[in-house]
Structure 1
Amino acid sequence: MQIRGIGNVPPPDQLRPVSLPTGSLSPDYAAQEAFKIEAGPITSPSEAGISCPALANRLGGEWRNGWERRDGRNSVCVIHFRR
C-alpha cells in the first residue's frame, strides 16, 4: 500500500507484532497488538505527531505516541490494532 508522504506500507496481514510490556495494562490495551511500521523520515516528535496518526488512521489502527528513528533517515511508528 502506498501512503502519500510515507511510502510503501505492507498490507496488515504481512505486519509482525512488537513485544510490549504487559504488567499493568488495562484489558482494552492488552487486547491489542502493536506493530512497528516504517514511516519514512521523521525528524522530531512534532513531525511524528502528524505522520504516525495519519498512518494509523489509514491502516485502521491507533497511534499512542510510539515511534523511533531507525538509521538516521528512516523511522517507524508503533501502531496498535485490535486482535
Structure 2
Amino acid sequence: MMSDRRRYCRRESALRATATSCDGATTFQCHVQNITAGGAKLTFATAVDLPHEFELEIPQLALNVEARMVWREGEECGVTFIWPQQAGYR
C-alpha cells in the first residue's frame, strides 16, 4: 500500500477562479478541481500559456494569492500557494 505524502488534506471543489499574470496583462478563467491549504489543482477550458508565477483569485473563498505552477498536463495544472511569511501561513 502506498502512503499519501501530501502535507495537507485535499478537498474536492467546483469553484471558479481567475489566474492573472503578475503584470496584469493576461487573464485566464479556470476551475479549481481540488484545493488544500498549500495549493490547488486547476483546470482550464483549453491548454493555456500560463506563466510560472501568477495571481490566483477564488471569489467564493475570498482568496487572492500568488501561486507557482509545479506541474502541467494539457488543460490541468497543479499550483502551490506563495503565502506571505509575515502572515504566519505555511
More helix by share: 1
Larger RCO, structure (CA 8 Å, separation 6 or more): 1
| Higher Rg | 2
Range of TM-score over shorter length: 0.3 to 0.5
More strand by share: 2
User: Normalising by structure 1, what TM-score?
Assistant: 0.40
